[in-house]
Structure 1
């Protein structure tokens, strides 16, 4: 398995996954922390989660990425490189404003960054789906998740420490913009897929054919519902997790950032690498079920933090377990999305599927978490998040034959 991770097609996904994950926390959790310490209202913080709407709507412009290509680096890498350069500028520009004085302007820039990030994701997800051989898919999904979650630690935990103790919020955003610019180099050096599928003949074909092909499959609608529900409990638990740890559990910004940076990083590395190895042995369906159960149960850790006095070491354990289980679940989920795509339409199909996976986080968890917390309190809310995870696991059980068929198709290839 170690040789698979060293493959010239798999290893670059670590840095490219980092580029994919870097903007999300900067427009969500980190921005949430900045707004929290600037004394922005809880309701306003909750509505900041709507910034992520671009991630749920990206399938609308994904056919453009399938149909057209920038003049350099091909159909997939060309779009990645272009959006990474624009993201570097957009993230740095966020550092020019502050939530207390310019919340509207900062939110508008965050929306632009989210749009560019979603476009980068369209191209990157298509690229990783196209470039990996079938036997590399589990390892590739794990490495993508590792890079993505490392970026979440850097733009989440490390960013909080840098902003609180060293650079301030403005300079921290400038630094994160510089990180994104460096990631663009990896796009230039990454290999092209061994088989390059022809672009759709017209924009109309690029729009219609991916949908027609997907919905012609047996159980297509319930598979889409599974994608919405699989990580819904995780989305609710994480929607205001930074605000909970600071305002609800009583930890400082630096404590939250340090624990995320150290223990979150270690758990992310272990979770991603273990996820790739376990998926190769268990297969896709059993991995999805086991990892889904683990990520649901891990939410109980937040409940314990909510009912006990602040204890730094226990918070470290909760963060580590959440990162470990969340990383495992995400690795299996990404492998599922890859298996559902056809190479000719991988940008549009992956964008549709991943956009659906963001529906719960953006339209359900973001707006509904603040009123749930205010009416129930933090401890009952975190118990509720475990129950919210169960429908996705039940639907996964009902659709096990379709998931097993994806494994069989990959082995045949």
Structure 2
């Protein structure tokens, strides 16, 4: 369960591909829908495909199906995080600054209602269709997943109903198709370098755990954390080296990379002092990390304690929703 929860880490690391969403046009769709709505529609289609894929796979059949379910979960996390990126950009551009606080509160309200439908609603529906803690019913879960995918049609209808934001004095850089494609290739190779390095460094991490256990501490959890942290840093270093190679070799326009990634970060640090900027980045990057990663384990804990899906849905998924919405609206006023 905790391994599957890594699929939701896309929400914490979506800043990595947010510049790509801002820069790259979607073929044909951008001309028809605009920059923001085209990415919204593409992300929503990805969410529907991912949820339907999860519903079409029975993870109880074999280990291969479990791997397919994991792949679908990763696709769902990536697609939904991309939708968040497009929604944030649309929200910022569709109204003046004085309305941003209210728009943020409305966004939280919509998010919480969506979580209620997907969380409590799916548990109630699966229980109604015949699955219980003692008796797993794949047919009930398949129908539940397909119903959740159908709810995403609300988002698609909304995307086609709203207007594309029109910005005054907007500075945009027009690039050729070749430059866009090369930038996309750079992004793909950097991500692949990170993922492959992280994946294939597993044996090295196992040796590091033994090394840390014998040298520094006896706590197994601390040694595992130190080893995995070094593993992450190694994968990040390899990704940076690949990005530097592409830029130095002229495969991708260095000015394009600088405008997309370097300049916004430099502008952020210019606006704030170094210490304040780092604190803001740490807050934005990690304030929901524990909720995303550890929250999924709570349902397993409740089930082991003997609570039914209906009880979990009624208490943990809906309790406090009113206070959350009320607090959001007060904050936006």
- The 5-angstrom pairing of residues 388-399 of structure 1 reads none
> How far apart are the structure 1 equivalents of 2:332 and 2:167?
25
> How far apart are the structure 1 equivalents of 2:19 and 2:291?
29
- The 5-angstrom pairing of residues 145-156 of structure 1 reads 145-156=108-119
Residue matched to 2:142: 170
> How far apart are the structure 1 equivalents of 2:46 and 2:80?
9
Residue matched to 1:376: none
TM-score (norm 2): 0.63
Deviation digits for residues 52-87 of structure 1 (CA, Å, limit 9, x no counterpart): 232233223222211122222211111001221232
Which runs of 5 or more structure 1 residues have no equivalent in the other structure?
1-44, 281-413
Structure (1 or 2) with the larger CA radius of gyration: 2
Deviation digits for residues 260-312 of structure 1 (CA, Å, limit 9, x no counterpart): 56x44xx42442244222453xxxxxxxxxxxxxxxxxxxxxxxxxxxxxxxx
Q: For the structure 1 residues 200 and 66, does the alpha-carbon distance in structure 2 shift closer, same or farther, using more than 3 Å as the test? A: farther
Which runs of 5 or more structure 2 residues have no equivalent in the other structure?
130-138, 176-255
Q: For the structure 1 residues 97 and 144, does the alpha-carbon distance in structure 2 shift closer, same or farther, using more than 3 Å as the test? A: same
- Asked if 1:128 is matched to 2:88, the reply is no
Residue matched to 1:255: 311
Q: For the structure 1 residues 233 and 206, does the alpha-carbon distance in structure 2 shift closer, same or farther, using more than 3 Å as the test? A: closer
Deviation of the 1:194 alpha carbon: 4.7
Residue of 172, 194, 211 corresponding to 1:199: 172
Residue matched to 2:23: 67
> How far apart are the structure 2 equivalents of 1:128 and 1:234?
24
Residue of 266, 280, 286 corresponding to 1:223: 280
Contact preservation (8 Å) 2:23, 2:260: yes
Q: For the structure 1 residues 133 and 146, does the alpha-carbon distance in structure 2 shift closer, same or farther, using more than 3 Å as the test? A: same
- Asked if 1:182 is matched to 2:239, the reply is no
Q: For the structure 1 residues 270 and 53, does the alpha-carbon distance in structure 2 shift closer, same or farther, using more than 3 Å as the test? A: closer
> How far apart are the structure 2 equivalents of 1:50 and 1:230?
16
Deviation digits for residues 177-231 of structure 1 (CA, Å, limit 9, x no counterpart): 1111232010111233352534345542122221121122212112212334544
- The 5-angstrom pairing of residues 137-152 of structure 1 reads 137-152=100-115
> How far apart are the structure 2 equivalents of 1:178 and 1:235?
24
TM-score (norm 1): 0.52
Residue of 107, 110, 118 corresponding to 2:81: 118
Contact preservation (8 Å) 1:95, 1:169: yes
Q: How many residues align?
A: 232
Deviation of the 1:89 alpha carbon: 2.0
Q: For the structure 1 residues 201 and 214, does the alpha-carbon distance in structure 2 shift closer, same or farther, using more than 3 Å as the test? A: farther
| Higher-helix-fraction structure | 1
> How far apart are the structure 2 equivalents of 1:163 and 1:183?
23
Contact preservation (8 Å) 1:76, 1:127: yes
Deviation digits for residues 305-349 of structure 1 (CA, Å, limit 9, x no counterpart): xxxxxxxxxxxxxxxxxxxxxxxxxxxxxxxxxxxxxxxxxxxxx
Q: For the structure 1 residues 275 and 119, does the alpha-carbon distance in structure 2 shift closer, same or farther, using more than 3 Å as the test? A: closer
**Residue 95 of structure 1 aligns to a residue in which SS?**
helix
